[in-house]
């Protein structure tokens, strides 16, 4: 999978553990999070001039299923553990 | 029997006629000064075409014929006959955003007109494209009331939603556009979310249709005595968004340029649809994105419009442009080699870029981070299932 992120600052480093999170809202209007996938960030490129971060994840999902499940929902990429080295 | 008087019919205004106000005339005059010498026909509608380049008498006549015999959506406000190069030097039009009585954009009939483009004299296509890019940005900034937009988002910690069901195309007519419309729609919605969130620090509270559903569901639950009322959230638990983004439309209008003495303006409309049939190639595509934003508290509404021209990747610095072009596998080298193939996505990406400039220009701060989000996370704009989109494989 490949994730395109529009960001003016790259907060990630190689070796960080990251999660792709899908968030939605429950009946009370609170944010409800679901982890789509977790992986160690090894393959990414940040293009500073373009404010573009392209992250390659080791997993690959079926496009149809992915779209069906996460359509109309927002995705976030979150750093859950920094690289200790 | 006494003859009934024939009821005088109130003459209806022809559909789609663009009213040229004094204000628009002034704007036209101002813009006309900016561009000199050759012409760029900058014209859009459901049936009109977009044509650019040096226009001599033949082209001018064809255009005139097209406009007079085609859809009656254009009012000629200045028609000079002083030689071939100034034959249609006056503007034909300008704004054709039709609105209903409630002020909502109903359709786009015509935008632009005939602009004399300085660099059309110049054979350097890159320079021409740069000028086009400036033009698209200039039109975007001029056709939006930036002060109004700035004042519109005056709430602290505001919330918003995008009515994604209402993100649509008005007219397509271009196969790439039709085939990829779902992706374009998702991408545009995501980007608008990003821009609003970052420029005005607003929080997206989710999809409006699911919010409606939840509200209704709770309403039923409240009226059902068999349900333990303590389990039902009280009325107004879900915060209704302060702003609703609605009626997002993404339009891509293809234009072709003839290779010979003829002009695309004289060929039937249906022939425009297929690339390279009779004429050389798709030459220009123009993208226009419009959207309405409602303030649910005050019932006020603003409409925003952004123009896009297929300009090279390097002219656009924002991430939004990069994401789009990389997602569709467009590289600068590809672009130079095969302009026709990538003109569509590039035009939409440019319109998005210009849309961003409206929000940034009117925003309280530079695009940065959502303050309400965890600083360790950033929103994902697009997802690709195709690893061939890797940037390294592009160049």
In a domain, B3, yes or no: no
Averaged pLDDT for residues B212-231 = 76
Which pLDDT value is given to residue B258?
Answer: 35
Which pLDDT value is given to residue A46?
Answer: 85
Do B266 and B177 lie in one domain? The reply is yes
Q: Residue B200 is part of which domain span?
A: 125-206+241-395
Question: Is the minimum CB–CB distance between A18 and chain B shorter than 8 Å?
Answer: no
Q: What are the pLDDT digits (tens) for B363-385?
A: 444 444 444 456 677 777 777 76
Q: Of B349, B378, B379, which to mutate for an interface test with A (greatest number of A Cβ within 10 Å)?
A: B378
Do B276 and B164 lie in one domain? The reply is yes
Which pLDDT value is given to residue B58?
Answer: 44
Whole-angstrom CA distances from B80 to A71, B73, B84, B89, B119 are 54, 20, 10, 7, 22
Instruction: Report whether pLDDT(B229) > 90.
Output: no
Q: How far is CA B42 from the centre of its chain?
A: 14
The more confident residue out of B275 and A67 is A67
Sheet containing A2-6: give its strands across: A31-40, A17-25, A74-81, B377-384, A2-6, A52-56, A43-47
List all residues 6 or more positions away from A85 whose beta carbon is below 8 Å from its beta carbon: A15
| C-beta atoms surrounding B10 within 10 Å | 6
Instruction: Report whether pLDDT(B88) > 50.
Output: no
Total domains, chain B: 3
In a domain, B336, yes or no: yes
Do B152 and B266 lie in one domain? The reply is yes
Which of B91, B108, B123 marks a domain boundary? B123
Do B103 and B172 lie in one domain? The reply is no
Q: Residue A16 is part of which domain span?
A: 2-81
Do B225 and B252 lie in one domain? The reply is no
Do B119 and B133 lie in one domain? The reply is no
Which pLDDT value is given to residue A38?
Answer: 94
Do B193 and B260 lie in one domain? The reply is yes
Are A29 and B379 within 8 A, CB to CB? Answer: no
In a domain, B197, yes or no: yes
B39: nearest Cα among B104, B85, B108: B85
Question: Is the minimum CB–CB distance between A22 and chain B shorter than 8 Å?
Answer: no
Which of B80, B108, B123 marks a domain boundary? B123
Range in B82-86, B142-146, B201-205, B305-309 with the lowest mean pLDDT: B82-86
Do B58 and B46 lie in one domain? The reply is yes
Sheet containing B203-204: give its strands across: B203-204, B159-162, B243-257, B281-295, B300-308
Which pLDDT value is given to residue B225?
Answer: 84
In a domain, B1, yes or no: no
Do B198 and B213 lie in one domain? The reply is no
Instruction: Report whether pLDDT(B227) > 60.
Output: yes
The more confident residue out of B257 and A42 is A42
Which pLDDT value is given to residue A39?
Answer: 94
Q: Which residues on chain A are in Cβ contact (under 8 Å) with B323?
A: 4, 6, 52
In a domain, B4, yes or no: no
Averaged pLDDT for residues B235-254 = 72
Rounded Cα gap, residues A85 and B65, in angstroms: 72
Rounded Cα gap, residues B350 and B313, in angstroms: 9
In a domain, B373, yes or no: yes
Range in B90-99, B163-172, B181-190, B246-255 with the lowest mean pLDDT: B90-99
Are B387 and A2 within 8 A, CB to CB? Answer: yes
Which pLDDT value is given to residue B157?
Answer: 73
Averaged pLDDT for residues B304-323 = 65
**What single DSSP character describes residue A28?**
T
Do B85 and B146 lie in one domain? The reply is no
Which pLDDT value is given to residue B112?
Answer: 37
Which pLDDT value is given to residue A23?
Answer: 73
In a domain, B292, yes or no: yes
- Residues with pLDDT less than 50, chain A: none
Question: Is the minimum CB–CB distance between A36 and chain B shorter than 8 Å?
Answer: no
Total domains, chain A: 1
Do B65 and B164 lie in one domain? The reply is no
| C-beta atoms surrounding A10 within 10 Å | 16
Instruction: Report whether pLDDT(B277) > 60.
Output: no
Which pLDDT value is given to residue A26?
Answer: 61
Chain B: nearest CA to A35, how far in angstroms?
A: 13
Averaged pLDDT for residues B217-224 = 78
Which ipTM was obtained for this model? 0.91
Which pLDDT value is given to residue A37?
Answer: 93
Do B83 and B106 lie in one domain? The reply is yes
The more confident residue out of B159 and B133 is B159
Instruction: Report whether pLDDT(B144) > 70.
Output: yes
- Please state the φ and ψ torsions of residue B43, each to the nearest 5 degrees: -140, 135
Which of B123, B144, B159 marks a domain boundary? B123
Q: Of A23, A50, A58, which to mutate for an interface test with B (greatest number of B Cβ within 10 Å)?
A: A50
In a domain, B80, yes or no: yes
| C-beta atoms surrounding A48 within 10 Å | 10
Averaged pLDDT for residues B191-204 = 78
CB B353 within 8 A of CB B321: yes
| C-beta atoms surrounding B129 within 10 Å | 19
Averaged pLDDT for residues B341-358 = 76
Instruction: Report whether pLDDT(B333) > 50.
Output: no
Residue A50: which of B204, B210, B319 has the nearest Cβ?
B319
The chain A residue lying nearest B389, using CA atoms, is A2
**What single DSSP character describes residue A50?**
G
Which pLDDT value is given to residue A15?
Answer: 92
């Amino acid at each position: 999978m490949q994730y395109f992120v529009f960001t003016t600052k790259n907060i990630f480093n190689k070796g960080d553990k990251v999660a792709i999170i899908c968030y939605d809202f429950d009946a009370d209007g609170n944010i409800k999070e679901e982890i789509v996938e977790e992986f160690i960030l090894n393959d990414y490129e940040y293009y500073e001039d373009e404010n573009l971060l392209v992250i390659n994840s080791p997993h690959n999902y079926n496009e149809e299923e992915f779209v069906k499940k996460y359509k109309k929902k927002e995705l976030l990429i979150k750093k859950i553990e920094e690289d200790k080295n | 029997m006494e003859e009934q008087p024939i009821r005088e019919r109130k003459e209806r205004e022809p559909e789609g006629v663009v009213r040229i106000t004094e204000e628009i005339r002034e704007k036209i005059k101002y813009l006309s000064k900016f561009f000199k010498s050759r012409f760029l026909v900058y014209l859009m509608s459901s049936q009109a075409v977009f044509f650019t380049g040096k226009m001599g008498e033949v082209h001018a006549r064809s255009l005139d014929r097209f406009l007079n015999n085609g859809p009656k959506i254009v009012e000629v406000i200045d028609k000079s006959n002083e030689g071939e190069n100034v034959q249609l030097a006056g503007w034909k039009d300008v704004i054709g955003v039709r609105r209903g009585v409630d002020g909502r954009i109903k359709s786009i009939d015509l935008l632009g007109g005939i602009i004399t483009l300085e660099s059309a004299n110049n054979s350097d296509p890159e320079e021409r494209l740069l000028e086009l890019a400036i033009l698209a940005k200039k039109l975007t900034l001029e056709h939006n009331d930036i002060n109004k937009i700035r004042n519109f988002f005056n709430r602290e910690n505001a919330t918003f939603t995008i009515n994604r069901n209402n993100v649509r195309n008005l007219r397509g007519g271009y196969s790439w556009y039709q085939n990829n419309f779902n992706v374009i729609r998702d991408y545009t919605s995501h980007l608008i979310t990003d821009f609003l969130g970052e420029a005005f620090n607003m929080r997206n509270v989710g999809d409006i249709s699911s919010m409606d559903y939840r509200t209704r569901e709770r309403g039923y639950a409240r009226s059902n005595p068999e349900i333990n009322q303590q389990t039902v959230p009280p009325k107004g638990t879900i915060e209704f968004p302060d702003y609703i983004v609605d009626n997002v439309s993404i339009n891509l209008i293809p234009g072709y340029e003839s290779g010979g003495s003829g002009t695309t303006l004289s060929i039937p409309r249906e022939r425009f649809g297929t690339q390279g049939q009779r004429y050389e190639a798709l030459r220009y595509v123009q993208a226009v994105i419009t959207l309405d934003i409602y303030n649910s508290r005050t019932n006020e509404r603003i409409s925003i419009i952004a123009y896009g021209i297929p300009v090279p990747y390097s002219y656009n610095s924002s991430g939004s442009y990069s994401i789009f072009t990389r997602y569709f596998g467009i590289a600068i080298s590809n672009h130079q080699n095969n302009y026709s193939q990538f003109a569509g996505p590039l035009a939409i990406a440019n319109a998005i870029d210009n849309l961003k400039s409206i929000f940034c220009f009117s925003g309280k701060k530079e695009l940065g981070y959502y303050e309400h989000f965890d600083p360790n996370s950033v929103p994902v704009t697009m997802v690709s299932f195709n690893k061939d989109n890797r940037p390294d494989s592009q160049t």
